[in-house]
Chains A and B, each alone.
Chain A
């Protein structure tokens, strides 16, 4: 996979950079450390923000502002007439492919648009791929890394090592594999309850079948669950009675018409006593089917406990109104409209606890209550409640003055509103009805005995067998129904158990693989970050160490050695500069290991806590170990700095091939900002274009920059000596001071008789060019009266600047064509041309 260098950056209308129609144009060398110096307020941070917006789609420092600050309107430069920002990046692949240009535009409606003039098919995807934690680094990043909690630090470091995506995936897997969540979301307890109830119902049906078969055949069935065998044996037996044989001659016991069979017996026998016997037998069977189940006590106890749990959980919340309020606050916090996350959006105070954490805790109480309420529904199907309903519905047990309560209780259980008192009342009602049922069964049994004594024995027996067989038919039907319910619940539970096993195993495997990779990666960077740290801070007395507990995201900063002591915590012991050096060493070592698309890193004022010596050490680390120029697997470094002392270092290094330095000049935030490294010819062309359009104000900074550039070029190329203040202080490098230094040096050499400049040029310089530049530019510029000059005068100034530079040049034909070349010094040329 190709990785990308950032070789060019153009910015217009973004933050402190106006540059309307003349984008700030920075060119970076891929195999050099690139430095950009700018005094405070000259748009250096705007460059950093522009890259942040282009690559990450946001500017962190703006996003962190309070909503009242309306950060979104401060992305574009407020002096830009189009109120839109344009950031163009040129990315050069390291595999020799063609450079790719990506333009990120933020229009007046704050819409972000990404295009690729060079024709890349997915410029947005390309920018997304550049999102690595080391691409944009500033002082705050290092400080945050040190001051973060071990967990946040661990997450940041995972990101640096390219593990954050894996870490996030692991957390997602762990969340999905959590047993409690699976049990709740997949309603495991409800299904288990359904399965248990269905099983109990099957047992009860089997019991009825067994007793019925025993009554009809004299022996119990071998397996009451075997519906085919039970049906077949009953059909065969009942077919033997000629009176009813025709009703049992079909193939299917389930479709036997027992009503017709009863009528046949009734017709053969006649009499109200027979009717009553049938009725009594049916009633006895019906009431016996309503006898108590073995699990009723447990069910009631479970519901009682659930009600208590619910009442306790409800007392920990403050009702639906508060839940709605918490949810509203949560929505506000998540909407992004509220950016001060330490402040509560409801009361606008800053509580001791972070509002999001408090809200999550409160909502989790409602969640717990909801979970308990959800469990109520399955209790509505409990066997004792079903029995209560049937007992109340039974006409045999009805008492005139009793209003039924079962429906009400079932509804209250389903809605999770039942109280302990209502439960107690329902249990008492069940007890009363059960006693009534037992009494009624006893009374019916007595009546049955009485009637049987008045009827012919054979038909009594046959009637009894038909009625019992009818009950067995109903029990078989119940058995089939509940067996299906049990099978369905069991099948669902089996599938859920398989999923649970799958997701748990997958989560465990992923976590193990990630822990191993993380361990290996940390071990792999260890030697590197220690060595980098040692080079930045010089010495072996302090040796840092990272500690990551197994299967944890935490990352602890330790010291393996500290002036002879061992294994100590780094944060409380190290000074700020050492802590930052530790963080920098970690970031750099991780960045060097990165295989991501970004092969560049931008460092914005990262040396603030360092003295000059340590600043120099860090720069040397970047130059000799991180930069591509010294390390074939290294990165392109781009340093942004406002430090005047560091610029001396940048200046000195930029004479070599491994360093490329820019200095920002101009008039931000409303004027044009330019990089001195931008070609002087481009500056000149821009100035000429503005003057030709009559735009004196716009041309002014360009002329000034061109003039300064040329004068400083003469000083640098020809080796003009300058005063100490001129060399050390930026604000002393004025046009007048440059001219003074040049004039002084020329006069000195002239008096010494060593001046190499032709006499005619000397005369022109002293009598024409210097007065013209001072008169037409310096005097007006320094008094702020530049607008009083016409474009034609200023075009003349540009020509005079070129003529002035030409006084210090000679024609050289060493390389074939004749070229103008600066003198080596005021007393010598580079060659003999």
Chain B
């Protein structure tokens, strides 16, 4: 991940959070976008613990769905695997 992050004391909390998300964008835009898109599920944070579990599970379900949806095919390994056997004579 890219280096350390610091808040700007002269900015509002909302602006600082936006800055933080921008900072994450620089390093892993795909995951940062995923976090941004689903943040509304966990912020504001419910007061009740049980409600928090529900929101967290919902957030992770959305992330899981996105992670399992292929965006672009990953490059296949080009490493040759094994050496073909020489055909052997059939025993008479």
Chain A positions 460-481 with a Cβ under 8 Å from a chain B Cβ: 461-462, 465
Q: Once the chains bind, are A229 and B85 in contact (CB under 8 Å)?
A: yes
- Rounded to whole Å, the gap between the CB of B79 and the closest CB of chain A is 12
Beyond A169-B43, A458-B92, is A330–B50 a contact (Cβ under 8 Å)? yes
Does B42 lie within 8 Å of A513, measured CB to CB?
no
In the complex, whether A516 has a CB less than 8 A from a CB of chain B is yes
How many angstroms between the C-alpha atoms of A520 and B16 in the bound complex?
Answer: 15
- A169 CB contacts on chain B under 8 angstroms: 13, 17, 43
Interface footprint category on B: 35 or more
Does A510 count as interface, using CB distance less than 8 angstroms?
yes
> For the complex, is A697 an interface residue (Cβ under 8 Å from B)?
no
1/0 per residue A173-206: CB within 8 Å of B?
Answer: 0011000011001100000000000000000000
Whether B7 lies near A162 (C-beta < 8 A) is: no
A165 part of interface (Cβ distance < 8 Å): yes
The answer for the CA separation of A499 and B63 in the assembled complex, in Å, is 9
Task: Say yes or no: is A595 at the interface (Cβ < 8 Å to chain B).
Answer: yes
Is there a chain B Cβ closer than 8 Å to A756's Cβ?
no
Q: A1 to B85, alpha carbons, bound, how many Å?
A: 76
Cβ–Cβ contact A176 & B42, under 8 A: yes
A669 to chain B, nearest CB (A): 34
Q: Is the CB of A222 within 8 A of B83?
A: yes
Main secondary structure of the interface of A (DSSP, over half): helix
Alpha-carbon distance between A330 and B52 when the two chains are bound, in angstroms: 13
Supposing A360-B48, A360-B50 touch, asked if A229 and B12 sit within 8 A by C-beta, the answer is: no
Q: B49 touching A237 by the CB < 8 A rule?
A: no
CB <8 Å contact, A230 and B4: no
- List residues of chain A with CB within 8 A of the CB of B4: 509, 512-513
- Tell whether, in the assembled complex, residue B7 and residue A238 are in contact, meaning their CB atoms are under 8 Å apart: no
Bound-complex Cα distance A218 to B90 (A): 9
A residues contacting the other copy or chain, number (CB 8 A): 70
**At the interface, yes or no: A225 with Cβ under 8 Å from chain B?**
yes
Question: Known contacts being A162-B13, A241-B90, A461-B91, is A181 close to B60, with CB within 8 Å?
Answer: yes
- Across the interface, do A233 and B86 meet the contact criterion of CB distance under 8 Å? yes
Binary CB contact string for chain B from 49 to 92 against chain A (1 if under 8 A, 0 otherwise): 11111001101110110011000001000000111111111111
A367 within 8 A of B: yes
Q: Which residue of A lies closest to B13 (CB)?
A: A165
Quick one: closest A residue to B92, CB to CB? A458
Residue of A nearest to B28 (CB): A502
Nearest neighbor of A185 in chain B, beta-carbon distance: B60
Known: A165-B17, A186-B64. A226 touches B90 (CB 8 A): no
**With contact pairs A165-B13, A360-B48, A360-B50 given, residues A226 and B82 touching in the complex (Cβ less than 8 Å):** yes
Residues of B within 8 A of A226 (CB): 81-84
* A505: Cβ under 8 A from any B Cβ: yes
Which of A228, A491, A495 is most buried by chain B, counting CB atoms within 10 A of its CB? A495
A516 to B85, CA, bound (A): 64
Q: Is the CB of A521 within 8 A of B9?
A: yes
Cβ contact within 8 Å between B7 and A513: yes
**Cβ of A168 and Cβ of B44 under 8 Å apart?**
yes
A495→B30 CA distance, assembly (Å): 12
Given A181-B56, A499-B63, A517-B6, 7 more A-B residue pairs with CB atoms under 8 Å apart are: A229-B82, A237-B90, A363-B50, A465-B90, A495-B68, A498-B31, A503-B35
Please name 25 pairs of A and B residues whose Cβ atoms are closer than 8 Å in the assembled complex, sorted by A.
A165-B13, A166-B17, A168-B45, A172-B42, A175-B42, A176-B60, A181-B56, A217-B85, A217-B87, A218-B88, A223-B81, A223-B83, A225-B82, A226-B83, A233-B87, A233-B88, A237-B87, A238-B90, A364-B49, A461-B90, A492-B67, A498-B31, A499-B67, A513-B20, A520-B9
